Structure 1
Amino acid sequence: MKLQTKYKLIIADDHKMFLDGLLSILMHESDYEIVYTANNGKDIKKYLDINTKENIDLAILDINMPEIDGVTLNQYIKNKRSSIKTLMVSMLTEPQKIYQLTHDGVDGYISKNAKKTELLHAIETILQGNKYFSENIKNIYTKSIFDQDKEAQIVLTQREKQILQLIAQEYTTQEIADTLFLSKYTIEGYRTSLISKLKVKNLVGLAKYAIKHGLVD
């Protein structure tokens, strides 16, 4: 009788207590073989670079890790070792990160607070060729899509972009007025309008928007 082939897993997480708990769960499952663990993304990348012919079925990754984070590591795996499935297990629920991961082809995402049954169900689902995202991650992803669409609808005039650039460069209202040959009151009007239009709270929010959208070098 031929023995069933085990699925080969690699795991990266910089929290030792969580990593030990994960190993304890998976080592009691007869279908899985843990072939490598690391506390940072760089070691996982190095392992994959060296062991190019080893058939790894699934990489379980955290997002916030030293050296190389989970988002970057997932991109690397999908580009260089696309046969390897990836599952994120993280406390991080930042919409932009979740949007990026799904865009890069991550196969699943669950919270570190997930129950053992959900973890095993997620792994099994992914290894069968399907995607698995916990309900809260689905909701955050939906919100991230909505936010992306909403942001895409914002159109700035050339003058508004100029003012945002100068705000991000820490120009005062009077300095902006002098630079653009406008009155101080006109600049204050633009500033108030931009805060409302971009849905930020203050000048810091305007500066962050300018930097995020490449309006400032």
Structure 2
Amino acid sequence: MSTPYSIIIADDHSMFLDGLTSILANETSIKIILTAKTGTQVIKYLRINSEEKIDLVITDINMPEMDGVELNAAIKEEFPKVKTLVVSMLEDAKKIKVLTEANANGYISKNAEKTELLKAIKSILHGENYFSPRIKQVLMEAMFSDKLEPEISLSKRETEVLKLIALEFTTQEIADQLFLSKHTIESYRKNLISKLGVRNLAGLTRYAVEKGMLD
């Protein structure tokens, strides 16, 4: 008899953990080694049990302490032989792109049917990647949208002002830090709002976050 595949499941929702555990209970080729509610618990287990062969980690994205994106990156850096499958309600193209670029082996929605979930798990365990048709569609739509959206070029000073606004510095604090007048900073702020097509400071902050300016 062949040795069953060893998997870990990470999700902070007990109902999902229980449901997935129940689905996999009938799969004789799969053995659940650990169920965890944070990515931190998973990494801790892998480090402590480094000699143990873990084939797959199934993870949600939104979790406390360490989310699924961070968990996938940590696994791929420290334990590159361990496969990863993201199962999430989120259909955020940016996070999906980050995950694919960080070599995640699969991504499906929590709304997926049991048959697709098992197909994804078994495909990955057998050496193939699996991204559901819906997730592929989200990525394709995002790529098409990015091509249509003209790239906005900001000057070095505009970028500095935008970062400080996003970090919640006041107009006077930004002026002091950049050795400019308060009036000049207000002009930069108004120009940025117009240039980026947003309505207010919250829009500027959102733009800075989406563009990774605060990373």
Specify the TM-score bucket, using the shorter chain as the normaliser.
0.7 to 0.9
Q: Offset at 1:34?
A: 0.9
Number of residue equivalences: 208
* Pairing partner for 1:207 from 205, 208, 211: 205
Q: Offset at 1:166?
A: 6.7
Moved more, 193-202 or 13-22: 193-202
Q: Give 5+ residue unaligned stretches, structure 1.
A: none
Superposed counterparts of 1:48-197, under 5 Å = 48-146=46-144, 153-158=151-156, 160-161=158-159, 164=162, 167-168=165-166, 169-171=169-171, 179=181, 187=187, 191=190, 194-197=192-195
The CA distance in 2 between the partners of 1:130 and 1:69, in whole Å, is 24
TM-score by length of 1: 0.81
Residue by residue over 1:109-137, the C-alpha shift from the partner in whole angstroms, topping out at 9 and shown as x without a partner, is 11111100000110111112111111221
Moved more, 137-146 or 78-87: 137-146
CA RMSD across the alignment: 3.1
The CA distance in 1 between the partners of 2:85 and 2:63, in whole Å, is 15
3-state secondary structure, aligned to 1:14: coil
3-state secondary structure, aligned to 1:110: strand
Moved more, 67-76 or 139-148: 139-148
Q: Offset at 1:196?
A: 4.7
Instruction: Determine if contact 1:71/1:97 at 8 Å carries over to the other structure.
Output: yes
Task: Give identity over the alignment, percent.
Answer: 50
Letter in 1 for 2:18: D
The CA distance in 2 between the partners of 1:90 and 1:216, in whole Å, is 25
Instruction: Determine if contact 1:60/1:87 at 8 Å carries over to the other structure.
Output: yes
Residue by residue over 1:140-180, the C-alpha shift from the partner in whole angstroms, topping out at 9 and shown as x without a partner, is 223444566677822113454465457553428xx8xx827
The CA distance in 2 between the partners of 1:179 and 1:52, in whole Å, is 57
The CA distance in 1 between the partners of 2:213 and 2:8, in whole Å, is 41
3-state secondary structure, aligned to 2:58: strand
3-state secondary structure, aligned to 1:88: strand
* Pairing partner for 2:30 from 14, 32, 35: 32
Q: Offset at 1:198?
A: 2.2
Q: Offset at 1:64?
A: 1.1
